Structure 1
Amino acid sequence: MPRFAANLSMLFTEVPFLERFGRAADAGFEAVEFLFPYAWPAATIRELLDAHGLRLVLHNLPAGDWEAGERGIACLPDRVDEFRAGVATAVEYAKVLGVGQLNCLAGKAPAGADPALLRATLVANLRHAAGELARAGLKLLIEPINTFDIPAFFVHRTDQALDLLDEVGASNAFLQYDIYHAQRMEGELAATLQKHLARIAHVQIADNPGRHEPGSGEIHYPFLFEHLDRIGYAGWIGCEYKPAAATEAGLGWMPAGSRRAGR
């Protein structure tokens, strides 16, 4: 049976972030994920997780100035010190929050930058991050993101991400497979999930077009959920989509029994 985590950066956005934990629990979710915890004390978020009986399954490493349009700094040669300081911060948050894996956003390639230099920088930063996370008992994830939504994003295909992980060579480094991004860039979803299952630590979902809830577009999610069960995927599935209306009104796509009854 698939296990779904509410992405609090995308769901329940009509209320302030700290109020979304209770909404997720009331909607029947047992786990959550989100982009970043760093605007709040780790202890505050931990109290909310505990108060609502929720498990945190994922958040990202610091990714630069999000409001200014940055989407990660791991490939940027002039931001290495900032990236590595962010890794240390993320590990400290993870220790408090009880999360077992952190996602690294590679960032956007600056116009005119040397791709070989960007790749070398990313590989070195991933090796550093994987080592620091391994010492804390954590997994490091890397996520390909489509270049229609985020032009110039440096890591945008599954094979590219796996090649990077091969070069990094860390046993605790894995792929985060976002079905929406993969559909936009390459398709071949079921076969890719099966072929690389051992290297996929986390799956995220949204439909296409529109990045709304499953069932709103072209992706046949009932088949994919059954496929993930059939091939033995044991991780969480993050609901990282933009609800077409209120989040609770759009949860009918979830397989029966895949979340607890609302409180």
Structure 2
Amino acid sequence: MPRFAANLTFLFTELPFMERFAAAKEAGFDAVEVLFPYDFAAQEMRAQLIRHDLTFVLQNTPPPNWAGGERGFAAVPGSEARFRSDFDRCLRYAGVLKPLHIHVMAGRAQGAVARATYLRNLRWACERAPQASLTIEPLNEGDMPGYFLNDFALAAEILDEVGAPNLGLQFDAYHAQILTEDVAAAWEAYGPRAVHVQIAGVPGRHEPTGGAVDWPGFFAALDGSGYAGWVSAEYTPEASTAEGLGWLAAARA
């Protein structure tokens, strides 16, 4: 059975942020992730992690302006200084929060110059933080218009070209199903590169139940492939978070 984590940016939003750690533990999660923790005190978050015996799985870079702002700068030509400054701030937070992975967001860009910029920035980041596990994640065009990394084959090429041992694939089953229309085949093809997995229902990005994905089959495929990382619930609950956690009990049955 996969090990499930709660994305506190998406789940338990009916509660103040610092109360979500306890709620996640009470709901049966042993790990959490936060997309952008930079509006909160790192030491206070660390205290919550320790108090509730939670593993901190993942945070994103860059820090600021998520609401209506940019989706990263790693592939954006001319934004190298911004990317590096944001990455260093991310590392300062990571030094306190100790995430297992840091997701390096590509941003909105296209073309050969963007690809070269992305490769250069990723190589720099991998060398800058050799002890950190960095990830890249393909995102679908509908949710992220203009996002550079919008294809799993491209992600595989980028990983091979960077060639860094501390850079891996972040496999989001929601995006994979939309991009490929066959999450099982996508996992078979690209799962061996994955160091982190996220889940959400298709369509709607709600609870991982029914819809276009055979979730019991997907979870079995994760187990069968030997995947040993965390599987983070990164979805928007249809009602309250607690009301929608039947999928978690079913997966553990």
**Could you say which TM-score interval applies, normalised by the shorter chain?**
over 0.9
- The 1:151–1:158 alpha-carbon spacing in structure 2 relative to 1, beyond 3 Å, is same
Q: In the alignment, what sits opposite 1:5?
A: 5
Q: Which amino acid counterpart does residue 157 of structure 2 have in structure 1?
A: D
Contact 2:183 2:213 in 1 (8 A): no
Q: In the alignment, what sits opposite 2:53?
A: 53
Q: In the alignment, what sits opposite 2:227?
A: 233
Q: How far apart are 1:132 and its partner, in Å? A: 1.6
Aligned partner of 1:167 among 153, 157, 161: 161
- The 1:199–1:205 alpha-carbon spacing in structure 2 relative to 1, beyond 3 Å, is same
Instruction: After TM superposition, list the pairs within 5 Å mapping 1:62-73 onto structure 2.
Output: 62=62, 64-73=64-73
Q: Which stretches in structure 1 are left out of the alignment for 5+ residues? A: none
- The 1:190–1:258 alpha-carbon spacing in structure 2 relative to 1, beyond 3 Å, is same
Aligned length: 253
Instruction: Using the TM superposition, name which of 171-180 and 73-82 deviates more.
Output: 73-82
Q: Which amino acid counterpart does residue 45 of structure 2 have in structure 1?
A: I
Q: In the alignment, what sits opposite 2:126?
A: 130
- The 1:64–1:116 alpha-carbon spacing in structure 2 relative to 1, beyond 3 Å, is farther
Q: In the alignment, what sits opposite 2:244?
A: 250
Question: Secondary structure of the residue that 1:6 maps to in structure 2?
Answer: strand
Instruction: Using the TM superposition, name which of 195-204 and 45-54 deviates more.
Output: 195-204
Contact 2:60 2:105 in 1 (8 A): yes
Q: Which stretches in structure 2 are left out of the alignment for 5+ residues? A: none
Q: Does 1:192 align with 2:186?
A: yes
Aligned partner of 2:112 among 116, 121, 124: 116
Q: How far apart are 1:255 and its partner, in Å? A: 4.8
Runs of 4+ in 1 over 6 A off after TM superposition: none
Q: Which amino acid counterpart does residue 128 of structure 2 have in structure 1?
A: E
Contact 1:25 1:52 in 2 (8 A): yes
User: What is the aligned-residue identity percentage?
Assistant: 47
Q: For residues 39 and 75 of structure 2, what CA distance do their matches in structure 1 show? A: 23
Q: How far apart are 1:211 and its partner, in Å? A: 0.5
Note the aligned Cα RMSD (angstroms): 1.6
Q: How far apart are 1:250 and its partner, in Å? A: 0.7
Q: Which amino acid counterpart does residue 128 of structure 1 have in structure 2?
A: W
Contact 1:94 1:100 in 2 (8 A): no
Q: What are the superposed Cα offsets for residues 83-134 of structure 1, whole Å, 9 maximum, x if unpaired?
A: 111211222222211212100111112xxxx611111111111111111221
Q: Does 1:81 align with 2:77?
A: no
Contact 2:5 2:31 in 1 (8 A): yes
Q: How far apart are 1:191 and its partner, in Å? A: 2.6
